[in-house]
Each structure stands twice: as structure tokens, then as C-alpha cells.
Chain A
Amino acid sequence: MTKSELIARLAADNPHLYHRDVERIVTTIFDEITAALADGDRVELRGFGAFSVRERNARTGRNPRTGDSVSVDAKYIPYFKTGKQLRDRLNGKP
């Protein structure tokens, strides 16, 4: 399912809404999550999962093709931890 398919499924559930508005809602939500993470905040959606930002230390990596060592700067990465309810659902538990 892509973002546009998600929008189409939501629009089908909500025939009273304009397609354009459904699109704006989906975009707003993902933009809001992105903005929160960019601020270093955590986004917790009980039952679904939580997005957070984790720190990765600087390290010396290798160019896999040439074997040269290259320094990789410290960075932040977005991390998602699946919520309990969703994790159970994926495994066929009620």
C-alpha cells in the first residue's frame, strides 16, 4: 500500500470528504511526525508503535568496493518500535 492507496482507502470510507482534504490530512500527520522527530521528540501512538530518534556514534567505515577506510560522522536515525497490540496482531493473536 502506497501513500496514495492509503488516501484512496480513506476516501472510500469517508465519501462525505473531499479527496483533496483526505490527502491533506494524511500529509499533515506524517509531516507532524517528521517535525516532532526533527525536534528530537518522541511520537507515541499506543497500540500502533512509537517513533523516536537514536544517536549513532561516529565510526570508521570501509568502502566495500575498494576497502579504503572512511570516517562516518555521528548522526541521528529515526527508529520505530512496534506497539504491543500491532505486534500481537501480526502474529495472529487477538
Chain B
Amino acid sequence: MAGRTVTRAQLSEAVYQEVGFSRSESTELLESILKHISNALAQGELVKISSFGTFSVRQKGQRVGRNPKTGQEVPILPRRVLVFRPSQVLKSRINTKRHPKAAV
């Protein structure tokens, strides 16, 4: 694994390089994309990006958890969690490119 971390900076740099918008405009557009996705999810909408994956919101019921340090029982309240299901395309891309162990 290369083990680097890609952040907003590199993604907006890619928009700047590939699409030719100014760096500041690229940064704003990236932010705007994340905002639209977050808003949709907060509304409980499904977000489906073809050939990338699907983000969905799932409702979890209350259950009893345990503080692993003290062993004390604590209720875990009902909550909404985000689930990402990668598309087949993304999964196969990740398994076909130079991962040393996958080649064995």
C-alpha cells in the first residue's frame, strides 16, 4: 500500500488540473458537492453515484452495550447510521491494481 492520505486539497487540485477551474473555485465546488450529498443524507435520501457506490441511512434500534473498560452496562440509544455500499466497478478497480498481496 502506498499509504498516503488524500485530502480536499488534492481533490480540488485534480479539478483545477483536469477541468481548468481556478483553485479557489475548484475548492468551493468540491465543498458544494459534499454539502449536497450530506444534505440529501440528512433528509434520509439515498445517494447513488453510479460506478462508485451508494450511501444510505439506516435506522438502528436501541440495544444494551457495555463499557469495555469497566464492564458496566450502558444503553446505546436508537440512532441513524450511514452505510456505504461500494459499486462492483469500485470493488474491481481496487482489486486489479498493484496491491502486492492481492497478486499472490
Residues of chain B within 8 A (CB-CB) of A36 are 4, 6, 10
With contact pairs A10-B36, A78-B53 given, residues A89 and B90 touching in the complex (Cβ less than 8 Å): no
Q: Is B76 interfacial (CB-CB < 8 Å)?
A: no
With contact pairs A1-B46, A6-B37 given, residues A46 and B8 touching in the complex (Cβ less than 8 Å): yes
Flag if A74 contacts B94 (CB, 8 Å): no
A80 to nearest B CB, angstroms? 3
Question: What is the interface residue range for chain A against chain B?
Answer: 35 or more
A34–B34 Cα distance when bound, in Å, is 16
Residue of B nearest to A36 (CB): B6
B3 to nearest A CB, angstroms? 7
B31 to nearest A CB, angstroms? 10
Flag if A45 contacts B81 (CB, 8 Å): no
Question: What sequence of 0s and 1s flags, for each residue 33-72 of chain B, a beta carbon within 8 Å of any chain A beta carbon?
Answer: 1101110111001111111110101000000000000000
B37 to nearest A CB, angstroms? 7
A43–B90 Cα distance when bound, in Å, is 14
Q: Is B32 interfacial (CB-CB < 8 Å)?
A: yes
Q: Is A9 interfacial (CB-CB < 8 Å)?
A: yes
A86–B6 Cα distance when bound, in Å, is 19
Chain B residues 1 to 29 lying within 8 A of chain A, measured CB to CB, are: 1-8, 10-11, 14-15, 18-19, 21, 26, 29
Flag if A90 contacts B81 (CB, 8 Å): yes
**CB contact between B95 and one of A43, A47, A75 (< 8 Å): that residue:** A75
